[in-house]
Chain A
Amino acid sequence: MAGICSEKRQYEEGDIVVCRCKEVTLKEIRKWISRGYDTFDELKRLTGVGMGPCQGRGCRDIVMKEIARMTGKTLEEIGTGTYRPPVKPVKLGMLTEANKEDPWKGKVVSH
């Protein structure tokens, strides 16, 4: 654990991390928006923003507002991007195991 802080990625002075899961910065987001990639789904594919453990719960709002600011569109016009299952990351191995047996069989789970 000792290395965590010292390994902190170095950002350019004044740059801001918008997606803490995938370490995407505001500068990167702005760069892509200015090139015309002005939807959340496009930015997601280009930068990985919103694809980490929190699945965009921290960054989506900030990115949407930045798109709105730079394009002059309203949040409603921009839309949100696609929401797909699962809402937080699930290991692929678990999906293959899923439903083979009832994980609650024999366990007392009632309130």
Chain B
Amino acid sequence: MRETELLVVGGGPAGLSAAVEAASHGCEVMVVDSDLALGGQLIKQTHKFFGSESERAGTRGFKIAEILLDELGQLKGKVEVLTNTTAESYYRGDGVVGCMTDEDNYWFVKPKKIVNATGASEKILPFPNNDLPGVYGAGAIQTLMNVYGVVPGKKVLMVGAGNIGLVVSYQLLQAGVDVVGIVEFLPNISGYWVHAAKVRRLGVPVLLKHTITRAIGENKVEGAYIQAVDDNNQLMGEPQKIDCDIICMSVGLSPTVDLLWQAGCKMMYVPELCGYVARRDNQMRTSNADIWAAGDAHGIEEASAAMVEGRIAGLGAAHSLDHVDRVQFGERLGMFWQRLDNLRAGATGEKIRCGVGKCTCQAWEVD
């Protein structure tokens, strides 16, 4: 049985930030990530980040991953990294975590504390023939193109005009792939205007109040039907046939919280955070005193916020292990919250502020 002070589950923006923060205070950290490389979604993100400069605005996503990995590298000796490793099981009796590496090694680790930074999973839409080859989630398209350099097809119908749908559409165009259109169920584009403007300038039609009704094809996607929806979200008018060989779904994410359920954390359905999330205090600690969470696993938001949440969770865990004194803890916690509040300021952050408010308590009765 392995032992470690802090187990960080997930090596994306939140997990890496948690690991760096905790290790920088002298905490012994083990990071496990189910993917082959660390960085999470950041390594697929070729676009520049927005927000404030302290949160790496103006830097491209994959560069931010490099910066975080560099910081982690400076903490050599304190941090152990295991990739291709899934934290499979949390055993409530003794707090042991079962991990699987390479799909043929199952082993146990007993951490003193855990930061769950497991990110999110993509939602998919139910429509006839949605199991045909050629129907993708936007994350898979990004992995194919931006990690492996493979274009998925020739003509893409994008479903969803949120930020991911818009950004991936632009990346497809950059790779020489034709984006025949973007359909969006909502009456408005929910992504940033700057992303929407980029694809509109390149002539991609964005059809609001439209949805995909079926994929066409025998053994692979050969087209799709789309249709308008009325104010009651009912289909109206005639279906329109679209010529495409790829259907890319970008219809939202849900927090990946399996381990938190397993661990018996108090959970809450928060629509603003896109699903069930753990109730938490102001240091991201769940109702299980040994477990913190951060990033998309604590509610769907942007990577910049995930990094700050990760910092807070890492700080909290390090503090609970007596690596940070009370004064420094208070100062850093306040500083990180200032940065989070800045990211969540204004009208765009209202939904997140509301969601976070619902599931945050002042303090757990622990310690």
Contact = CB atoms under 8 A, between A and B. Distances in A.
A103 B269 CA distance: 38
Interface residues of A, number: 38
Contact of A16 (B128, B133, B269): B128
B105 A110 contact: no
Q: Is the interface of A mostly helix, strand, loop or mixed?
A: loop
Interface stretch (B88-96, B289-297, B312-320): B88-96
Contacts of A103: 101, 105, 107
Interface in B72-90: 72-73, 76-77, 79-82, 86-90
B362 interface: no
Contacts of A97: 106
Contact of B126 (A5, A62, A104): A62
Contacts of A87: 86-89, 258-259, 262
Nearest to B261: A83
A57 interface: yes
A8 B132 CA distance: 9
A14 B128 contact: yes
A1 interface: no
A97 B101 CA distance: 13
B254 interface: yes
B121 A98 contact: no
Given A85-B91, A86-B98, A88-B88, A110 B79 contact: yes
B219 interface: yes
B72 A84 contact: no
Interface residues of B, number: 46
A109 B81 contact: yes
B230 interface: no
A80 interface: yes
B73 A111 contact: yes
B201 interface: no
B261 A86 contact: no
A99 B106 CA distance: 7
A82 B86 CA distance: 20
B331 interface: no
Closest 8 CB pairs of A and B: A85-B89, A86-B88, A83-B261, A5-B219, A94-B106, A111-B81, A98-B106, A76-B269
Interface of A: 5-6, 8, 14-18, 20, 26, 55, 57-58, 61-62, 75-76, 80, 82-88, 90-91, 94-95, 97-99, 102-104, 109-111
Interface of B: 1-2, 31, 72-73, 76-77, 79-82, 86-91, 98, 100-101, 104-108, 121, 123-124, 126-128, 130-131, 133, 219-220, 254, 256, 258-259, 261-262, 267, 269, 275-276
Given A57-B121, A111-B31, 11 more contacts: A16-B126, A55-B258, A61-B124, A80-B276, A85-B90, A86-B98, A91-B104, A98-B106, A98-B107, A104-B2, A111-B81
